[in-house]
Chain A
Amino acid sequence: MIDRTNQEWMEALRDPISSEALEDLRIILVRGLKASLSSRVKGDLDSLVEDFAQDALMKVLKSLETFRGESRFTTWAQKIAIHVAFTELRRRRWKDISLQDIIETDDGSEYTPKILTDPTATPEQKTTQRSILEMVQTLIDEELTDRQRDAMLAVLQGGMPLSEVAKHLGTNRNALYKLIFDARQRLQRRLYETSNLTAQDVLAIFEDKQV
């Protein structure tokens, strides 16, 4: 395989496209995707990776003029391939699961802090931790919109990817990130106002806990 500079890759992939360069890039993408996905997916990895590599090649060619040359061309192309693969894997994984299923799935409708039984925390720590967790739950109920609450539950508790939650809410991944970011900022501000604690205080209180 020819070792190409960024400029050489760009020239080879512009019309008329060099079939040799395209095949070299396909091989690079397949190799990278296999390394990424071998421990993450079950089933026919070769077929899956070939499909993703083909889709990624199309996207690379379509996006060619957006490449700014700040990284190696092959790193940029592999980033696209990973994004193509994970977008599709997430779509397949979550396609039959509704947002309501996720939001209503809970490990207990009643909030009971098991932290009280944590043997590594002192009684004082336990009390403080419990107080903070209860305060945050109250703030979630009182300060967030239904949409913010649903989005946070689906993402943080349900583990649903942002892109999939966004589809259910009729928005996009960026806008959803902003929605949750605004919610985090509001909760952060109100938590510190209410508790008179700082971020460092909170982290210290929960230090060495599995978070």
Chain B
Amino acid sequence: MSHMNENTLKRLVKLLAHTEDKEIDCEECYNRVDVFIEMCMFGEDPPEGVMPAVRHHLEVCDCCREEFVALVDALDGCESLKDLVKES
């Protein structure tokens, strides 16, 4: 049986600490990420509080986060938007 190496285990421990009772899946995140970005870029509320379920998914899903960061680049969004969603 293959084992996880140390770095992977450490990342997993952190991921477990950020695992929620309910999480949205990739499709739901994809359906809402354009709205999430615009609310962060142009909304009146502080971006830290915008659509927590989408933000959480982006923090735990590498593929969705990669596309989110690329979309920020495509929209010429500010770099700080990328920092809003950090890898868990």
Closest to B33 in A: A79
The minimal Cβ–Cβ distance linking A208 to chain B, given in whole angstroms, is: 12
Bound complex: CA of A76 vs CA of B7, how far in Å? 36
The minimal Cβ–Cβ distance linking B75 to chain A, given in whole angstroms, is: 6
| Count: A-B pairs, CB below 8 Å | 148
Interface centre among B33, B38, B63 (most CB of A within 10 A): B63
Selected from B1, B18, B30, B71, the residue in CB contact (under 8 A) with A141 is B1
A111 touches B67 (CB 8 A): no
Bound complex: CA of A141 vs CA of B6, how far in Å? 15
A86 touches B66 (CB 8 A): yes
A199 touches B18 (CB 8 A): yes
In the bound complex, residues from chain B placing their C-beta under 8 Å from that of A152 are 4, 12
In the bound complex, residues from chain A placing their C-beta under 8 Å from that of B4 are 111, 137, 140, 152-153, 156-157
B13, CB-defined interface residue at 8 Å: yes
Selected from B16, B30, B33, the residue in CB contact (under 8 A) with A202 is B16
A83 touches B38 (CB 8 A): no
Selected from B16, B73, B76, the residue in CB contact (under 8 A) with A184 is B16
A35 touches B73 (CB 8 A): yes
Interface centre among A90, A159, A177 (most CB of B within 10 A): A177
B37 touches A108 (CB 8 A): no
A151, CB-defined interface residue at 8 Å: no
Closest to B38 in A: A71
Bound complex: CA of A162 vs CA of B62, how far in Å? 9
B70 touches A40 (CB 8 A): yes
A133 touches B67 (CB 8 A): no
B63 touches A106 (CB 8 A): no
Count residues of chain A with CB under 8 A from any CB of chain B. 64
In the bound complex, residues from chain A placing their C-beta under 8 Å from that of B35 are 70-71
Closest to A202 in B: B17
In the bound complex, residues from chain A placing their C-beta under 8 Å from that of B27 are 173-174
A12, CB-defined interface residue at 8 Å: no
Bound complex: CA of A163 vs CA of B1, how far in Å? 24
Bound complex: CA of A156 vs CA of B2, how far in Å? 13
State whether A103 and B74 are in contact (beta carbons under 8 Å apart), knowing that A86-B67, A174-B27, A184-B16 are contacts in the complex.
Answer: no
The digit string for A123-154, where 1 denotes a CB below 8 A from any CB of B, is 00000000011001100110000000100110
Residues of B within 8 A of A (CB): 1-19, 21, 23, 25-27, 30, 33-35, 37-38, 61-63, 66-67, 70-71, 73-76
| Leading 9 A-B pairs by shortest Cβ distance | A32-B74, A199-B17, A71-B34, A36-B70, A157-B8, A188-B16, A184-B19, A36-B73, A211-B14
Q: A36-B73, A83-B67 provided; 13 other pairs, C-beta below 8 A?
A: A32-B74, A36-B71, A82-B74, A83-B30, A104-B2, A109-B2, A111-B6, A133-B9, A141-B1, A184-B19, A199-B16, A211-B11, A211-B13
